[in-house]
Amino acid sequence: MIWLFLGTALLTLALFLKFKWLNVVVAVGLFAVYFDVLNQPIFDYIIFLIGVAFLIIELYIPDFGIVGILGVITIIYSLAEQVRDIPDLILLLLALVGLVLAVSFIAYQAGLTLQISPQFVLNKAIGKQVDEDTLVSYGKLINETGLVIEDLRPVGKIKLDSDQQVYEVMSEEGMLEASQPVYISRVKGTQLYVRKN
């Protein structure tokens, strides 16, 4: 059981670190020890890893929660196959959720933020080419207000009040729901960051 908790803690911490691959590899190894892949069939282990991958994808690419729900279902299924006792499964799931929240809180208190690769973020107005003029004009967007039109998890879409353009942005305050008023707090290269207004 300790291997599952250690792997979960490392995987959660990896979301906040710039160099995350070492944490991910070690976490995958710890999960393999928990699922005892050398002595048991690896089906549950693979299903578990698919579920974890779905949850990570849901964090980076918002899609109305479908991938996240599939991830939760596959993780619960794989853990249920390991535990085989409903009360123990519920306690295990609650402990894992508590661990993820605790590690996230500690990372946040330590000044870390979710590290999202720029390849996952569309950094321009939808339907426009990124060129020098666009880069220059992004600086003018600071303090512009708008409305979240697609949940920011922490990446999503907003529509600016001034020009009604839709931009894909990153929230500096975690997840924000649709219809939340926001303002563009800063621009880094072609990436727009927003905060609650």
- What one-letter code names the amino acid at 70? L
pLDDT at 125: 44
Asked if 130 and 105 sit in the same domain, the reply is: no
The residue among 81, 109, 137 that closes a domain is 109
> Are residues 141 and 59 part of one domain?
no
Same domain (yes/no): 163, 100: no
What is the Cα–Cα distance from 151 to 186, expressed in whole angstroms? Answer: 19
Cα–Cα separations (whole angstroms), residue 97 to 103, 115, 124: 10, 20, 35
**Are both 53 and 91 inside the same structural domain?**
yes
Supply the range of the domain harboring residue 179: 118-196
Same domain, 72 and 145: no
pLDDT digits (tens, 9 = 90+) for 57-116: 887 776 668 888 999 999 999 999 999 999 999 999 999 999 999 999 998 888 887 776
* pLDDT recorded at residue 134: 54
The answer on 103 and 129 residing in a single domain is no
Same domain, 98 and 134: no
Residues 6 and 99 in one domain: yes
pLDDT on residue 74: 97
Last residue of a domain, one of 109, 139, 172: 109
Give the residue from 62, 77, 109 where a domain finishes. 109
Do 52 and 94 belong to one domain?
Answer: yes
Q: Number of structural domains, the chain?
A: 2
State yes or no: pLDDT of 152 exceeds 80.
yes
> Residue 135: what pLDDT?
52
SS3 assignment for the chain: CHHHHHHHHHHHHHCCCCCCHHHHHHHHHHHHHHCCCCCCCCHHHHHHHHHHHHHHHHHHCCCCCHHHHHHHHHHHHHHHHHHCCHHHHHHHHHHHHHHHHHHHHHHHHCCCCCCCCHHHCCCCECCCCCCHHHHHHHHCCCCCEEEEEECECCEEEEEECCCCCEEEEEECCCCECCCCEEEEEEEECCEEEEEEC
In this structure, the answer to whether residues 81 and 102 fall within a common structural domain is: yes
Q: When comparing pLDDT for 163 and 64, which is higher? A: 163
In this structure, the answer to whether residues 89 and 45 fall within a common structural domain is yes
CATH of the domain at 124: 2.40.50.140
Residues 30 and 125 in one domain: no
The whole-number average pLDDT for the span 113-129 is 53
**pLDDT, averaged across the chain:** 85
